[in-house]
DNA sequence: AGGTGTCACGAAAACGTTTGCGTGTGGAAA
DNA sequence: TTTCCACACGCAAACGTTTTCGTGACACCT
């Protein structure tokens, strides 16, 4: 049960000063070769590792990136984290992940906790509750304290900082256009309530696409779902007697739920109804029929966010007073759910 | 761009000593009420928050739990993390998550990094590569240094520490028994190569169930898949001309892939072939037909692991020389893929 | 021998806390 | 007036580093 060894202990053991040990381990010319070798051998034997905490305190930086996401059990967010980790590790940074569980309070707590010494900067996507409350003081304060913040996916326009987003409206437009170009005339949208920024934007894109094809926008074809956990009955009710021939869903779950319901209602996907989903996840890929989706390239988002943050962290502090917004391209992944009848 | 305020700055500003400030903020009787109020007001105004790094250094503890998992983009592991976070937050601990990406090297690096000051203890599930190499020195060293470690899911028998597992063999047996009790006679298993501990155990359970029903174990009904990423062709080949009436898959992906292939081969699930999967994830739930699964109760695992770890962390150091292995119950979740023909 | 220079190392401050103990000031008791 | 005590506060060490600067010893030159 040997405890971690410190510089002080090495110094004592070898009867030299702490500074000598520190310098020797850094191969400083100041120390004689003999002493250097001796100290290094000793340190290696006892598996000396500098204490990160002490280093952080001294250097006023932790070499750690804090990531705060609304849900940890969520495919899209985890892919983003994957991207962040990739870049972070390349550049010698660590990643701390916290989940806000879509709770405003937990988001605040996590940020304060990480801000008070544990991380040098943040990558975050705001909680649902935060978007609803429109209370961003904790983020603003963090920025004011000089900590770089990169927002992604669910961003806040009012906040001045780096952002990584996709063009949600454009992606939705692409999706809807795809349905239109297949000949669909009666396209429904399954979306979220308006305070979810991405839901709102995707709805906008849907309308834009319809206008492009000179198709009337009908309110009765729009379903705004509040509670994702039991969307099933809502969608079921909605789809009855609607006679839609295309569905655009703003996320995977709405899409597969709809597909299952169509199945029950004896309508075939894609023959009777074509379906496109936003978010290219595991569900869409393996569903039968597999779903055509708009891919958000989450890993890519994570990578770009990490790059932006690390740039800010390593810049000369003074210069970096400009903020960038990176827009990640979405792409249409065509699968069976929109296959043309041959 | 005001920087974080420190005790020292408050002290200077208010013309008292640092210790006075510290004590005042802790409401120490030593300091006069007047001074206390004044300091507290000032601190509140400037939004003073103690620096965690300094505290960690002083207290020799970080109040942080390190979690290392093989994959971050993986439903089961994220549910476990959810459980860990829940308990950790209740008890005032933070959670740092690192992914080893199933790489031995990255696992070692992450552990060393977290061990050198960033976390008080570990919850971990070992990487594939580590299981293959059978090199556990990094974990052993961490334990030797007096840091508590809790292993979960993919555990290492040789390591003496707390563990949280499920009874993989028993779960597999339950699954297979379920198929047998439905009348299946020719049950195939889709499993992993043997060095994956859980795969091996689940295979064992499958055999045990067969023996229980006095059914011959046929090697030709066992498929050990090495590369999960293109298991499709392997399974396709395997299933040809086999005439199986039941399939037990050790994970979701194998199960849905098999289901899709059966579909192509014009066999119906569950009428012609019944399917059970290990791991109750999002895929099984939403697949058509929805899959009967063995649920591992990941969140529960995470909770128990966190409890074990925190117990060790908060015990009087000296006492806690006994190690526990918690076995989480699995349960059969019946869905459409094993529905009896009516 | 005195001066100069180099080599090899040590002392100490700093990062931001907490906390045991020491101490100056004042008032009250003797 | 002296003594004593409580009150209210400050000092300093400690946690483990890094780094600047100082310094002792020795050798070499004149």
B283 to chain A: which residues are within 8 Å by CB? 282-283, 286
Question: pLDDT tens digit string along B285-310?
Answer: 999 999 999 999 999 999 999 999 99
Spatial separation of the C-alpha atoms in residues B121 and B130, rounded to whole Å: 20
Nearest to A158 by CA among A182, A139, A179: A139
Confidence of residue B341 (pLDDT cuts 50, 70, 90): low
Residue A16 contacts strand D, CB under 7 A: no
**Of the partner residues B54, B64, B99, the one whose CB lies closest to the CB of residue A85:** B99
Q: Inspect the interface and report whether the beta carbons of A282 and B282 lie closer than 8 Å.
A: yes
- Cβ-based burial of B216 (10 A; exposed 0-12, middle 13-18, buried ≥19): exposed
Q: Is the domain of A189 the same as that of A199?
A: yes
Question: Angle, nearest 10°, between helix axes A7-14 and A33-45?
Answer: 120
Asked whether the beta carbons of A245 and A181 are under 8 A apart, the reply is no
Q: How far apart are CA B337 and CA B252, in angstroms?
A: 13
Angle between helices A197-212 and A168-181 (to 10 degrees): 40
Nucleotides of C strand lying within 7 Å of any protein CB atom = 7-12, 14-21
A237 with A322, same domain: the answer is no
In a domain, A44, yes or no: yes
Which residues contact residue A194 at a Cβ distance below 8 angstroms, ignoring those fewer than 6 apart? A200, A203, A224
Is A1 contained in some domain? no
Q: Are residues B126 and B212 in the same domain?
A: no
- pLDDT tens, position by position, B264-281: 899 999 999 999 999 999
Same domain, A81 and A44: no
Rounded Cα distance between B116 and A105, Å, is 30
Query: Is any atom of strand C within 7 angstroms of residue B22's beta carbon?
Result: yes
Distance CA A33, CA B153 (A): 49
pLDDT of residue A220: 93
Residue A283 sits in the same domain as residue A302: no
A98 CA to C19 C1' in angstroms comes to 33
Q: Which two tokens stand for residue A132?
A: 């609803």
Q: Does residue B319 surpass a pLDDT of 70? A: no
Same domain assignment for residues B182 and B238 = yes
Is residue B120 situated within a structural domain?
Answer: yes
Which chain B residues touch A62 with a CB distance below 8 Å? Answer: 53
CATH number assigned to the domain comprising residue A201:
3.40.50.2300
What pLDDT does residue B315 have? 79
Domain assignment present for residue B2? The answer is no
What is the distance in angstroms measured between the alpha-carbon CA of A45 and the sugar C1' of D17?
A: 20
Q: Tell me the Ramachandran region of residue B101: left when phi exceeds 0, alpha when psi lies from -120 to 50, beta otherwise.
A: left
Task: Answer positive or negative: Cα dihedral of B101, B102, B107, B109.
Answer: negative
DSSP B108-159: HHHHHHIIIII-SEEEE---HHHHHHT--HHHHHHHHTT--EEEESS--TTS
Please state, in angstroms and rounded to a whole number, the distance separating the CA atoms of residues A222 and A49. 59
Percent of chain B with pLDDT over 70: 97
Per-residue pLDDT tens for B57-80?
Answer: 999 999 999 999 999 999 999 999
CA of A340 to C1' of D10 (A): 83
Instruction: Looking at the structure, tell me whether residues B285 and B172 fall in a common domain.
Output: yes
Compute CA B288 distance to the chain's CA centroid, rounded to the nearest angstrom. 27
CA distance A207 to B166: 50
**Number of domains composing chain A:** 3
Indicate the residue of B57, B89, B288 with minimum beta-carbon distance to A57. Answer: B57
Contacts B52 to A, Cβ<8 Å = 113, 116-118
Nucleic strand D under 7 Å from the C-beta of B53: no
Q: Are B130 and B163 in contact (CB under 8 A)?
A: no
d(CA B215, CA B186) in angstroms, rounded, equals 9
B227-242 residue pLDDT tens: 888 899 999 999 998 8
Q: Residues 31-60 of A near strand D (Cβ < 7 Å)?
A: 48-51, 53-55, 57-58
Instruction: Round to a whole number and report the distance in Å from the CA of B48 to the C1' of C27.
Output: 37
Which A-chain residues 29-48 have CB contacts (< 8 A) with chain B?
Answer: 47
Question: Are both B215 and B275 inside the same structural domain?
Answer: yes
Closest Cβ–Cβ partner in B72, B259, B260 for A78: B72
Q: Do B295 and B282 form a contact (C-beta atoms < 8 A)?
A: no
Can you list the residues of chain A whose pLDDT is less than 50?
Answer: 342
The DSSP bridge pattern shows strands A94-99 and B246-249 to be unpaired
CA atoms of A77 and A246, how far apart (whole Å) = 28
* Interatomic separation, CA of residue A36 and C1' of nucleotide C4, rounded (Å): 28
Taking CB atoms and an 8 Å cutoff, what residues of chain B touch A123? none
Angle, CA of A27, A28 and A29, to the nearest 5°:
115
Q: Is the dihedral of CA A68, A73, A74, A78 positive or negative?
A: positive
Could you tell me if B307 and B158 lie in one domain? yes
**Cross-chain residue pair A57–B54, CB shorter than 8 Å:** yes
Same domain assignment for residues B126 and B155 = yes
Residue B2, burial from CB neighbour count under 10 angstroms (0-12, 13-18, 19+): exposed
A 255-274 near B (Cβ less than 8 A)? 256-257, 259-260, 263
Distance CA B42, CA A193 (A): 42
User: B156 and B178: one domain?
Assistant: no
CB-nearest partner of A95 from B75, B79, B98: B98
| CB of B16 lies under 7 Å from some atom of strand C | no
Residues on chain A touching B75 (C-beta within 8 angstroms): 73, 75, 282
Q: Which of A320, A330, A315 is nearest to A276 (CA)?
A: A330
DSSP structure string for B202-238: HHHHHHHHHHHTT----GGGEEEES-GGGHHHHHHHH
Q: Chain B, 58-77: which CBs lie within 7 Å of strand C?
A: 58
CA distance B9 to B11: 5
Q: Is the CB of B39 under 7 A from strand D?
A: no
User: Would you say residue B211 lies in a domain?
Assistant: yes
CA dist B97 and A218 (Å) reads 46
Q: Which residue has the tokens 């013309």?
A: B15
Q: Taking CB atoms and an 8 Å limit, are B52 and A288 in contact across chains?
A: no
CB atoms inside a 10 Å sphere around CB A60: 12
- Does some domain include residue A291? yes
* 3 state DSSP class of A191: strand
Minimal Cβ distance to B73: which of A52, A75, A99:
A75
> In the predicted model, what is the mean pLDDT of residues B152-162?
95
Q: Extract the runs of DSSP E, i.e. beta strands, from B100-170.
A: 121-124, 149-152, 162-166
Distance in angstroms (rounded) separating the CA atoms of residues B89 and B91: 5
Q: What is the Cα–Cα distance from B65 to B313, expressed in whole angstroms?
A: 10
Q: For B80-103, write each residue's pLDDT tens digit.
A: 999 999 999 999 998 988 899 999
Residue B196 resides in a domain: yes
Residue-level pLDDT at A208: 97
The span from the CA of B134 to the CA of A207, in Å, is 57
CA dist., res. A341 & res. B59, Å (int): 69
What is the distance between the alpha carbons of residues B334 and B276, in angstroms, rounded to a whole number? 9
Per-residue pLDDT of B132-143, as tens digits, reads: 999 999 999 999
Tell me the chain B residues in contact with residue A138 when contact means C-beta distances shorter than 8 Å: none
DSSP B297: -
Amino acid A241: pLDDT? 83
Cβ atoms of B9 and B45 closer than 8 Å: no
Question: B51 to chain A: nearest residue by CA?
Answer: A116
* Gyration radius of chain A over CA positions: 26
Q: Residue B126: which pLDDT band, with cuts at 50, 70 and 90?
A: very high
Domain containing A26: what range? 7-50
A310 within domain boundaries: yes
Residue whose pair of structure tokens reads 């809790």 in the numeric block: B150
> A145: which chain B residues are within 8 Å (Cβ-Cβ)?
1-4
Same domain, A236 and A173: yes
Cβ contact B191:B224 at 8 Å: yes
Q: List the A183 CA – D10 C1' distance (angstroms).
A: 83
Q: Across residues B47-54, what is the average pLDDT?
A: 95
Q: Nucleic chain D: which protein residues 15-34 of B have CB below 7 A from it?
A: 15-20, 30-32, 34
DSSP state for residue B116 in the 8-state scheme = I
Helices of type H across A114-154: 128-133, 137-144
What does the alpha-carbon distance between residue B167 and residue B153 come to, in Å, rounded to a whole number?
10
Q: Does the nearest atom of strand D lie within 7 Å of A25's Cβ?
A: yes
Nearest residue, CA→C1' of C16: B54
- Evaluate whether A289 touches A336 at the Cβ level (below 8 Å): yes
Kindly determine whether the C-beta of residue B62 is less than 7 Å away from any atom of nucleic acid strand D.
Answer: no
């Amino acid at each position: 049960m040997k405890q971690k060894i410190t510089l002080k202990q090495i110094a004592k053991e070898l009867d030299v000063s702490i500074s000598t040990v520190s310098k020797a381990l850094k191969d400083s010319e100041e120390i004689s070769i003999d002493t250097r070798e001796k100290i290094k051998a000793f340190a290696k034997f006892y598996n000396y590792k500098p204490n990160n905490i002490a280093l952080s305190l001294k250097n006023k930086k932790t070499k750690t990136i804090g990531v705060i996401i609304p849900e940890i059990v969520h495919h899209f967010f985890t892919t983003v984290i994957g991207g962040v980790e990739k870049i972070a590790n390349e550049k010698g940074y660590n990643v701390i992940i916290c989940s806000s569980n879509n709770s405003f309070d937990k988001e605040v707590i996590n940020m304060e906790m990480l801000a008070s010494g544990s991380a040098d900067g943040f990558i975050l996507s705001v909680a649902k509750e935060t978007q609803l409350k429109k209370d961003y003081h904790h983020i603003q304060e963090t920025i004011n304290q000089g900590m770089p913040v990169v927002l992604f996916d669910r961003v806040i326009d009012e906040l001045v900082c780096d952002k990584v987003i996709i063009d949600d409206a454009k992606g939705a437009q692409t999706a809807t256009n795809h349905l239109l170009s297949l000949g669909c005339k009666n396209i429904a949208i399954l979306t979220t309530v308006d305070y979810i920024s991405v839901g709102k934007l995707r709805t906008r894109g849907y309308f834009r696409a319809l206008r492009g094809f000179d198709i009337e926008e009908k309110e009765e074809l729009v379903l705004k779902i509040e509670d994702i956990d039991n969307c099933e009955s809502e969608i079921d009710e909605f789809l009855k007697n609607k006679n839609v021939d295309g569905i655009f869903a703003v996320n995977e779950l709405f899409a597969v739920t709809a597909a299952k319901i169509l199945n029950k209602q004896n309508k075939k996907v894609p023959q009777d109804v074509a379906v496109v989903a936003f978010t290219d996840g595991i569900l869409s890929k393996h569903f039968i029929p597999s779903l055509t989706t708009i891919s958000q390239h989450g890993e890519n988002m994570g990578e770009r966010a990490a790059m932006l943050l690390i740039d800010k962290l390593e810049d000369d502090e003074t210069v970096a007073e400009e903020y960038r917004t990176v827009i990640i391209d979405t792409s249409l992944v065509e699968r069976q759910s929109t296959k043309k009848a041959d």
